[in-house]
Amino acid sequence: MSIDQKPDKKKLFDKLIEKSELKQLVYYNTYNSFNVFKEVIEQMKHAYHKYEKTKKSRFEIPFELKTMGEFEIELKFGGDILIFMMHTNVFEFPRNHRVMNTSYVKEDKNRSYCGVINIYNFLADSFKYNRLNDVGYLIGRVFINKDKHYFIEGKRELGYLYNNFGQNELTTEIAEIITTAAIQYTVNFDLLTPPYENVKEVSLHEMRTAIDSLTLKTGKRLGFKFQADED
């Protein structure tokens, strides 16, 4: 009996092809958007170095881009590092997410499938001194769908960006706005000393290890409640 005479299998195969093509399109759009971020950061690096030459600074302040494989960008500036990391899988928003209640998604449920570019903040010294116990923070993530429309979840400057999933397309200009907001947030997100009660005791092993390899845990809000998490 042929496949044409088996509507159940035909329906299954059609669904398989449709879903796979959808995810491939989302992946393609996300990958292209990630490369747009890479180009924007490269341009910002050149603009910074050009501007830096006009300033008389006592110290050399870095602003450097490093490509860490196909899906990761490392931007180092001042004492911080931003890592832009593209996930290779495609996700769908949970049913209770506010995006799912928009008319844009209700008109076409396939619009809720997105690729993700995560933006993390680490201390530059964590990498420099190989402090593997140090912590970083996810400060934002950019979702991109089959229409190349984007939605942002993030902290403060990133979270305040206008989000209209049904109309906003990720362009070079938008990527620059997002990158600028991420840098602004990071510059304003200072390293604070943890509460005394949280660090008053240290074992001999921890101290010896710290002396040998600087592995005492460091993070911008270590020992504090991260206030921005309530945003």
How sure is the predictor about 29, in pLDDT bands with cuts at 50, 70 and 90?
Answer: very high
Tell me: pLDDT of 228 over 50.
no
Token look-up 């991420």 returns: 182
Amino acid residing at 123? L
Q: Work out the pLDDT band at 61, boundaries 50, 70, 90.
A: confident
Can you tell me the distance from the alpha carbon of 95 to that of 112, in angstroms, rounded to the nearest whole number? 10
The pTM for the full model equals 0.81
Q: Report the pLDDT value the prediction gives residue 126, as an integer from 0 to 100.
A: 85
Q: How many domains does the chain have?
A: 1
Nearest in space to 114 (alpha carbons), one of 6, 27, 204:
27
Judge whether 205 lies within some domain: no
Mean pLDDT computed over every residue of the chain: 82
The token pair at 137 is 């923070």
Spell out a b/e string for 103-141, using b for 16 or more CB atoms within 10 Å of the CB, else e: ebbeeeebbbbbbbbebbbbbbbbeeeebeebeebebbb
Give the angle subtended at the CA of 103 by the CAs of 102 and 105, to the nearest 5°. Answer: 70
What whole-number distance in Å separates Cα of residue 156 and Cα of residue 158? 5
User: d(Cα 65, Cα 229) in Å, to the nearest integer?
Assistant: 28
Domain range spanning residue 51?
Answer: 12-191
Residue 102 counted as domain residue: yes
Range of 84-88, 91-95, 99-103 with top mean pLDDT: 84-88
Task: Find the mean pLDDT for residues 153-166.
Answer: 72
Residue 1 lies in a domain: no
Residue 2 lies in a domain: no
Tell me, yes or no, whether 208 lies in a domain: no
Answer whether residue 22 is part of any domain: yes
Per-residue pLDDT at 8: 79
Q: Is pLDDT of 154 > 80?
A: yes
Give the chain's count of helices (H) and strands (E): 6, 7
Q: How far is CA 155 from the centre of its chain?
A: 11
Q: Is residue 225 part of a domain?
A: no
* Residues 143-165, mean pLDDT to the nearest whole number: 81
Closest CA to 230 of 91, 187, 136, 221: 221
Percent of the chain residues past pLDDT 70, beyond the cut: 76
Per the domain annotation, does 153 fall within a domain? yes
